[in-house]
Structure 1
Amino acid sequence: MISTQRFIHGRQKPFKYLISLFTLLTLLFTLFYLPVKATTITFRDINNHQFQKQIEILQKEGLIVGFPDRTFRPDAYISRAEMAVLLRKAKKLLEDRTTVNPFKDVPINHWALNSILAVHRAGFMRGFPDGTFRPRALLSRAELAALIGQAKGLKSEAAKIAAPMVRANDEALIPRWAIGWVTLGYFPEHQYLTYRPRRMSAPRDSATRGEVAYAVYQLLYPPKKGGIVQVAMNAEPDTLNTWVGVMMAMHTVNFTWAYPPAVGRDEDWNPYPGVLTKRPSVEDGTIKIKGEAMEVIYNFREGIRYSDGEIADVYDWAYAFMVLQDPLTPTTRSPLDDKVDTARGRGAFGVRGFDILDSHSVRVYYKELDWRVDLWVPGAWLPGSMALYPQHILEKVYNRMKDTGNSEVFRTDETMNRKPVGYGPYRVTEWKPGSFITLERNPYYAFGKPLLDGIIFRFIPDTTTLLARVISGRDVDVAALGLGFDQAMILKERGPKHVRAYFADGFIFEHLGVNMDDSILRDIRVRKALSYAIDREKIVNVFFGGKQKPAYTFFHPNHWAYSSPKIKYVFNPEKARQLLEEAGWRMGRGGIRFKDGVKLAIVLETIAGDSLRGKVQATLAFMWNDVGVEVDISKNRPSAAFITRARRREFSHLIMFAWTLRPTSMGESFFREEFIPSPANNFIGHNWYGYRNKEVTELLTRVSTEMTEEGRKRVLHRMEEIVLDELPVIPLYFRLAVTTAKTNLVNYKPGGIADTPPTWNVFEWYFDR
């Protein structure tokens, strides 16, 4: 959403630190100065704290002590006077009792006067131009970054950084003098700074004792470079081209070579600027609302380079936007694309709708309002999509498509689909179909130096085999896709110590997609009967231990638009039988219903090799058989073939699968008529069901122009009511995002939504020492 919040901080002038590694270690030892022996106590206030591990290790090594009440107080702060005392002790400076006091705010009887004078004389801490020392001022996070950076010997490296590359929502607040230090603090090879809530770097806020402990731990034990992470999935992507692909397996791979997007999300789903320097806002003038129209300025970061070494700039975006405007290009258009006013602006490459302001900035003209303009840029909205697509790669493919008139070029060209060029931390080196994809470190990555030597994605379609290989640990470090909830519980309760199972709550909507053109399922009474015959509570209790949520609508309970649905298909087999009788289906031989000599028989398809889905599939067949429906569950296919068949709308009756949705998902691409795939639109669109309802299409067109959340909710609740009444999809349950990782893999933080697949922060991963 468009941010309306301003961040107000007091200004603080910098002071310089001259500090050695020895100084810092000694400083930390004296940081908590009360005489409590470090190795004899356990701090009672750090359990489950963000920095518990780092605090305990430093305490175990005798580097920190706490307070007599057995607390560490990790969220308390440190003042400049305390820092002066610590620095004097660390450097073993004599207390200065002779130098004239130059600071008007440090009285002669101040408890830290002699220490302040000593470190001032030594040049470690200086005062301010107004003649003050500000002894009670607290150490800021920017100052902490400088302290650690200098201790690591990064002064010359920090001096080369002119603009922050922090991917935080408050980068503009980083003091000019601290840009290099703070940026390096977030780079993969250093990682001595962490984010505050809402993805803030908080450079002017006071550093906590816990943050100081974490920073020093990272100084003592810097991230380990090297090694290869092997990521297993039960599905193989059909392509790595986000212009034509939809599979979650594709998104999972793409976040390693194409990340970050224009605006990313972290493990807590907080949006933050990726290749944009900041999210546009009304407050800073980069969003201007003019009646029903908008003007938005997008500022791309300088210094972004593609994995082949070419420099990225705004002309790459403009060229890709031109290609997307071509009707021959086989891609699902962004909701923002159709709102660009192509009658305005000078444009470029033969299309209008924007003005290029400089090599890294563009003003886009919208003819309609849209509340998501600070979250996407036109042409790049799917997870893992690059906001800047390399023109030198794309133009060759586009020209060939135009010359031949064949849009399949976009689906077959190697540089678009098999070995793409991106600006992410790694780059694709090999794809052996049916086996693996390998990636190596991208030497041109703009956000620091990735730590791993490479990544291997292994495709293991059978989930039982996948579980066995996770347990063995020989060739699987991360299981990103495919493990079922029951398998993850086995690992959690009695698995090997080298593996940890993760259960991330997310918008994974498991459902049945209905072929709305089928002669049997075209009857709404049959669809409703099938839904009433499903005991969702039993499914989640039997197969998921009651830990997953039954779904009665497509909005997850954590989605901002959720409310208890007005129409709810609670398990009622008698109601199901009644509806089938009303539809003319009479019970016949073998307990199966017939109508005009035709058996009530349907095919339920899902992805082959998924053991848990297979169990749910069999359970659904049993429940439907109980009300007189014969179900064929023998037509399952491998993931790529299943997706192709679904996308081309070649399935007979029902398909069981999941959409991994986003906080911005509102059902547009699933339920609008124009998103029904067909030969006429090159089979682009996610309305695989063939659902047609003009009111729903109108509501989903209108909802994006509602600039308030309450307004959007009103529109979506009406849309939801219609869709649930007509049932082009039959909700089953919301899945937890189940993954595993080896316990020595640091910074594995799965997010559970489409914007944060398990690999979203792969640039931070490394193996612990």
Structure 2
Amino acid sequence: MRRHLLTALALVPLALALPVEAQPPRESLTIGINQYPSNFHPNIENMAAKAYILAFALHPVTAFDADWKQSCIECVSLPSVEAGDAVLETTPEGKPGIRVTWRIREGWNWGDGRPVTADDMRFAWEAGRAFETGFGPAETYRSAYEFTVNDPKSFTIRFDKVTYNYAGLGQFQPLPAHLERAIWQADKAGYRTRSRYETDTTNPGLYNGPYRISAVQPGAGVTLERNAHWTGPAAPFNRIQIRTVENTAALEAQLLSGQLDMVAGELGFPLEQATALQRRVGDRFRFSYNPGLTYEHVETNLDNPVLADRRVRQALLHAADRAQIVARLFEGKQEVADGGVHPRDAAYSPDTPKYPYDPARARALLEEAGWKAGPDGIRRNADGERLALEIMTTAGNRTREQVQQILAGMWRSVGVEARIRNEPPRVFFGETVSKRRFTGLALFAWVSSPENVPRSTLFSDEVPRAERNWSGQNIAGYKDAEVDRLIEALPLELDADKRKPLWAELQQRVATDLPALPLWHRSDAHVWPQWLDGVTPTGHQNYSPLWVTQWRVR
């Protein structure tokens, strides 16, 4: 890392000396990101780095667009009750259900020339229904109780509940059955490590987007090349290189040296680093700051008896001066969060409980919970145990590490010791967080789709566990029967106005319980070269590379 950083800095004068007009024709694009995926299977584990890379190479049937509207990516049209391709019905158990039919476009191919068919969707459904495989989100597969292949380009799914987002397939993506089904059938529980996405990642048949992964440098980057069998709009570059630079200072150095053409806003520079860079380099690059549905927070492990007490969790949030952190680190450009729902999301309730900075209230809550001031300033309980919690985040992310230090100081002022321990993102997300191996607090972000029901993160049955191969994202281990009821009821209400009181009740309850400590809703800082047009940030989990065919060299 030190050698690469020194080399990058040595090249800065040369890069600055080249005017934009002197740039040669662009056959390739090099993008910097700050994480490396823990795996490459699209339906196993959710990680921003993987979602970003695979958006170039794998297309879903549907996705939310930049206007936060459900749209077709590879379907002919969105199904609807009015059009007759979504039909309300009664399930065999006598429950209200819905039968939905999608038709995928002709000419959609895998990178080995095989067409994408309804059978590829069926295989993804089969594997998702076998819960030992560990797919997520599990609820999609649980609700989809019957799958019918109508013809090679059409399939019908019967759901055991009618939801307001029935036209979208979310993260349910096709898988190349001709390559993957036999591997899955041989060992369903071991499939997550035996899949060709892990053992043969550069196999072109795994990808159906405008690009395919052609080379992998573990921990360092991925190379994508045009899918020769892609029949959609032309891909703008012959080659796209994505480099992982987990240290954001080194990421900046590589951008300035010309080793990188751009830094992805979805997981690149912290906002304050990007604004400082813009002040230094002026219009050498194009900068865009896009607010969205990325929610920075501190997850708690409720198996820890200290954190199991709600009063301790509330005290930690009251002791955190989030407004000051946003002002100091982000020039006020992030919005302090009341919870996981963004204020501009249709689901947001303005009546969600707030936690203003109030260290006196934090101390009172800790006293009430039995934590008394100790001689060294750290509180102790009746057994003499110190109030000490471990806090973890992604190593090399300068901003998160700064936030850790600031939070630790604020918490110490009310008698809580925060011990910092960090890991590289691929370890932190791939093992520690996904398998709930952190002992106290974990600082990271969730990104969601618009009006997203937080089933995977808050529903009792979504707590990751070994027997389910660690599927689910309820990392805190939060369990509340009333929250479960609301999560079950929300998707079933098709009237948006009638959903509002349900949303308000859910946010009220979760903000009172605080299984996670909300920090802020993140604004992503996108940095592009002046010669690149057409990149449209979305602000949600369907990332901008999904529309890479709209990118153009000026």
* TM-score calculated relative to the size of structure 2: 0.90
Kindly report which structure 2 residues correspond to 1:593-632, keeping only aligned pairs within 5 A, or say none. Answer: 593-595=379-381, 596-632=383-419
1:447, distance to aligned residue in structure 2 (A): 0.7
Q: Equivalent residue for 2:12?
A: none
One-letter amino acid matched to 2:84: G
1:765, distance to aligned residue in structure 2 (A): 2.2
Q: Equivalent residue for 1:310?
A: 114
One-letter amino acid matched to 1:254: L
Matched, 1:332 2:125: no
The partner residue of 1:411 within 184, 187, 193 is: 193
1:416, distance to aligned residue in structure 2 (A): 5.0
Kindly report which structure 2 residues correspond to 1:249-264, keeping only aligned pairs within 5 A, or say none. Answer: 249-259=49-59, 261-264=60-63
Matched, 1:704 2:487: no
The partner residue of 1:498 within 248, 260, 284 is: 284
- Secondary structure (helix, strand or coil) at the match of 2:380 reads strand
In structure 2, distance between residues paired with 1:695 and 1:733 = 26
1:488, distance to aligned residue in structure 2 (A): 0.7
- Secondary structure (helix, strand or coil) at the match of 1:603 reads strand
Deviation per CA, 1:21-56: give whole Å up to 9, x if none: xxxxxxxxxxxxxxxxxxxxxxxxxxxxxxxxxxxx
- Secondary structure (helix, strand or coil) at the match of 1:563 reads coil
Range 704-713 or range 553-562, more displaced: 704-713
1:748, distance to aligned residue in structure 2 (A): 1.6
In structure 1, distance between residues paired with 2:252 and 2:34 = 10
The partner residue of 1:687 within 451, 462, 474 is: 474
The partner residue of 1:548 within 334, 355, 359 is: 334
Q: Equivalent residue for 1:70?
A: none
The partner residue of 2:85 within 281, 286, 296 is: 286
1:465, distance to aligned residue in structure 2 (A): 0.8
In structure 1, distance between residues paired with 2:311 and 2:124 = 46
Q: Identify, as 1 or 2, the structure richer in strand.
A: 2
1:437, distance to aligned residue in structure 2 (A): 0.6
Aligned positions, number = 520
Q: Is the 8 A contact 1:552 1:565 kept in 2?
A: no
Deviation per CA, 1:381-415: give whole Å up to 9, x if none: 22xx63x321101213213315xxxx233234333
Kindly report which structure 2 residues correspond to 1:192-591, keeping only aligned pairs within 5 A, or say none. Answer: 227-259=27-59, 261-290=60-89, 292-341=96-145, 353-376=146-169, 381-382=170-171, 386=173, 388-402=174-188, 407-415=189-197, 418-419=201-202, 421-480=206-265, 481-495=267-281, 497-591=283-377
1:743, distance to aligned residue in structure 2 (A): 1.1
In structure 1, distance between residues paired with 2:160 and 2:309 = 40
1:334, distance to aligned residue in structure 2 (A): 4.8
Distance 1:715 1:419, change over 3 A: farther
Matched, 1:661 2:454: no
One-letter amino acid matched to 2:158: Y
* TM-score calculated relative to the size of structure 1: 0.66
In structure 2, distance between residues paired with 1:333 and 1:467 = 35
1:720, distance to aligned residue in structure 2 (A): 1.6
In structure 2, distance between residues paired with 1:720 and 1:692 = 15
One-letter amino acid matched to 1:466: L
In structure 1, distance between residues paired with 2:282 and 2:230 = 35
One-letter amino acid matched to 2:533: V
1:287, distance to aligned residue in structure 2 (A): 1.4
Distance 1:566 1:758, change over 3 A: closer
Deviation per CA, 1:532-591: give whole Å up to 9, x if none: 111111111111111110011211011111021342111111000001111111111221
1:366, distance to aligned residue in structure 2 (A): 2.3
Unpaired runs of 5+ in structure 2? 1-23, 91-95
Q: Is the 8 A contact 1:504 1:752 kept in 2?
A: yes
Deviation per CA, 1:644-703: give whole Å up to 9, x if none: 201111101100100011104221110001110111111111001111112211211121
Deviation per CA, 1:182-205: give whole Å up to 9, x if none: xxxxxxxxxxxxxxxxxxxxxxxx
Q: Is the 8 A contact 2:128 2:138 kept in 1?
A: no
Deviation per CA, 1:691-744: give whole Å up to 9, x if none: 111221121112111111122222222122221111101101111012211111
In structure 1, distance between residues paired with 2:396 and 2:149 = 50
The CA RMSD over aligned residues, in Å, is 1.8
In structure 1, distance between residues paired with 2:508 and 2:343 = 16
One-letter amino acid matched to 1:728: P
Range 732-741 or range 561-570, more displaced: 561-570
The partner residue of 1:727 within 501, 510, 514 is: 514
Q: Percent identity?
A: 29
Distance 1:354 1:462, change over 3 A: closer
Q: Is the 8 A contact 2:35 2:426 kept in 1?
A: yes
1:225, distance to aligned residue in structure 2 (A): 8.1
Q: Is the 8 A contact 1:229 1:452 kept in 2?
A: yes
- Secondary structure (helix, strand or coil) at the match of 2:98 reads strand
In structure 1, distance between residues paired with 2:516 and 2:375 = 30
Q: Is the 8 A contact 2:349 2:507 kept in 1?
A: no
Distance 1:654 1:730, change over 3 A: same
In structure 2, distance between residues paired with 1:483 and 1:508 = 14
Q: Is the 8 A contact 1:301 1:360 kept in 2?
A: yes
1:501, distance to aligned residue in structure 2 (A): 1.9
In structure 1, distance between residues paired with 2:134 and 2:227 = 29
Q: Is the 8 A contact 2:64 2:449 kept in 1?
A: no
One-letter amino acid matched to 1:449: A
In structure 1, distance between residues paired with 2:224 and 2:451 = 30
Kindly report which structure 2 residues correspond to 1:115-194, keeping only aligned pairs within 5 A, or say none. Answer: none
In terms of Rg, which structure is larger? 1
Deviation per CA, 1:336-388: give whole Å up to 9, x if none: 322234xxxxxxxxxxx243322211232223211111111xxxx22xx63x3
One-letter amino acid matched to 2:410: M
In structure 1, distance between residues paired with 2:452 and 2:202 = 29
- Secondary structure (helix, strand or coil) at the match of 2:327 reads helix
In structure 1, distance between residues paired with 2:249 and 2:159 = 50
Deviation per CA, 1:290-336: give whole Å up to 9, x if none: 36221212111111111111112112212221222223222114533
Larger relative contact order (Cα-Cα within 8 Å, sequence gap ≥ 6): 2
In structure 1, distance between residues paired with 2:161 and 2:66 = 32
Distance 1:638 1:693, change over 3 A: same
Q: Is the 8 A contact 1:262 1:276 kept in 2?
A: yes
One-letter amino acid matched to 2:129: Q
